[in-house]
Structure 1
Amino acid sequence: MISTPDLSHLRTADYDQVYEPAEDTFILLDALEEDAEGLKAIKPSVCLEIGSGSGCVTSFIGNILGPSVLYLCTDINPYACKCTRWTGIQNKVDINVVNGSLATPFGFRLVRQIDIIVFNPPYVPTSEEEAFGAQISRDIGGAWAGGSDGMQVTNILLNQIEALLSPSGRFYLVALKQNNVPNIIQTMQEAYRLKGEVVLQRRAGREHLFIIRFVRNLS
């Protein structure tokens, strides 16, 4: 079993500004652990987490893959970027964090070069105004407010994934049942020939969480 990253350096005051790891985080960690051998097998060079928050997920991946991988993270919340750096240091994972939206900071520099992409998005259905305001304010609200179907931010990234993912790359997405998981999988297959599969699902209180793994459909 791979240990959950040490987050003892983060305090209650930090979680007032940054999303605290919860069930959606832990199901993602479980899915990544189940895929550990597969991740090693593709011999990844670059890993990107979108919306890294506390830095828990990338630190976990770092414990699976070791120091040979370039670990990149983005977050719109400047305080989350600091927390991600602190968590990387605490867990001896060299994380490079950029304060920015989704994969925008990398532009065309990493076209089809990212071997692992991970996104635990703001998936909670809210008003579109609330989701837009949360992204503009660049604070903790941006970690959960997802617009009318919870897909307002996710859809932006889904349109970027094909251009970023390496030929053997894997993209992991956290989704809620209300996000219409079958539609996400169908859309990515039809629009980008990315094959999606639910690799883990779990009920957590009122939420039904899914981890979808996408790979290139090379057939």
Structure 2
Amino acid sequence: MIPTPDLSHLTAADYEHVYEPAEDTFILLDALEQDADELREVKPRVCLEIGSGSGCVSSFVGAILGNSCLYLSTDINPFAASCTQRTARQNKRTIDPIVASLAGPLRTRLHRNIDLLIFNPPYVPTHDEEAYSAQSTADLAGAWAGGASGMQITDVLLNDLDNLLSPTGRFYLVAVKQNDVPGIQKRMEEFGFRSEVSDMALQILD
């Protein structure tokens, strides 16, 4: 069993601005651990976590893959970038956090070169205005306010997936029933991807 990363350095003050790992986080960790042997076998070179928050997930992936991979993360929240870097240090990992939306400034340089893409998105259905406001303020609400059907932010990334994933790339996405998981899968099939559902984590394979 791969231990959950040490987050003892994060405080209540940190969690006022950054999403505290919860059930959805641990379901994602379980899905990654379940696929640990397969992930090691495909030998990812570039891993990108979008919306890294506390840095828990990227540090966990680092425990699976070791130092053979370049670990990048993005988050619109500067507090999250700081927490991710601190969590990496606490767990003796190397992660390069970037303050950006989705793949942002990495899209061109990493065009079809991301081997492992991970996203625990803001999936809670809200009014679109609330989601726009949450993204604009770039604070804690940006981690959960997902707009109509909870898909406002996720839809943007799904439409760009073919430009990001490498030929052997894998994408892990957390979703809930209101996000219409079968609908997501159907869209991905139309784009030429296949997918598998494990509890709440939807895995999309190139």
Q: Does the pair score TM above 0.5?
A: yes
Equivalent residue for 1:197?
A: 196
Q: Percent identity?
A: 61
1:213 matched to 2:197? The reply is no
Contact 1:102/1:157 (8 A) holds in 2: yes
Over the aligned positions, Cα root-mean-square deviation in angstroms equals 0.6
**Structure-to-structure mapping, 1:147-158, within 5 angstroms:** 147-158=147-158
Hey, what's the Cα distance between the residues in 2 that align with 1:135 and 1:61?
Answer: 26
1:126-205 residue pairs with structure 2 within 5 A?
126-190=126-190, 192-198=191-197, 200-201=198-199
Matched-pair contact (CA < 8 Å) for 1:42–1:169: no
Measure, in 2, the Cα distance between the counterparts of 1:177 and 1:44: 30
The equivalent residue for 1:18 is 18
| Kept in 1: contact 2:119–2:172 (CA 8 A) | yes
Distance 2:43 2:64 in 1: 12
Q: Distance in 2 between matches of 1:111 and 1:100?
A: 17
Q: Tell me, yes or no, if the aligned pair for 2:107 and 2:163 is still in contact at 8 Å.
A: no
The within-5 A match list for 1:77-88 is 77-88=77-88
State the shift of 1:197 in Å. 1.2
Match of 2:91 in 1: 91
Distance 2:100 2:17 in 1: 16
Separation in 2 of the partners of 1:63 and 1:125? Answer: 33
Q: Runs of at least 4 residues of structure 1 off by over 4 A? A: none
Q: Which has the higher strand share?
A: 1
Q: Tell whether the 8 Å contact from 2:107 to 2:164 is kept in structure 1 after alignment.
A: no
Q: Secondary structure of the equivalent of 1:145?
A: coil
The structural deviation recorded for 1:108 is: 1.0
Local SS of the residue matching 1:73: strand
Look up the match of 2:104.
104
Letter in 1 for 2:91: N
**Match of 1:37?**
37
Partner SS for 2:122: coil
Q: Tell me how far 1:148 sits from its aligned partner.
A: 1.5
Q: Given residue 97 of structure 2, which amino acid in structure 1 is its aligned partner? A: V
| In 2: Cα distance, 1:29 partner to 1:105 partner | 26
- Residue 160 of structure 2: SS of its match in structure 1? helix
Measure, in 1, the Cα distance between the counterparts of 2:204 and 2:35. Answer: 13
1:29 alignment partner AA: L
Q: Deviations over 1:174-194 (max 9, x none)?
A: 00111000000001111x101
Contiguous gaps of at least 5 residues in structure 2: none
Which letter maps to 2:203? R
Give CA deviations for 1:115-135 in whole Å, capped at 9, x if unaligned: 000000000000000000000
SS in 1 for 2:166: strand
Confirm or deny: 8 A CA contact 2:44 2:115 kept in the other structure: yes
TM-score normalised to structure 1 length: 0.93
Task: Specify the code of the residue in structure 2 equivalent to 1:194.
Answer: F
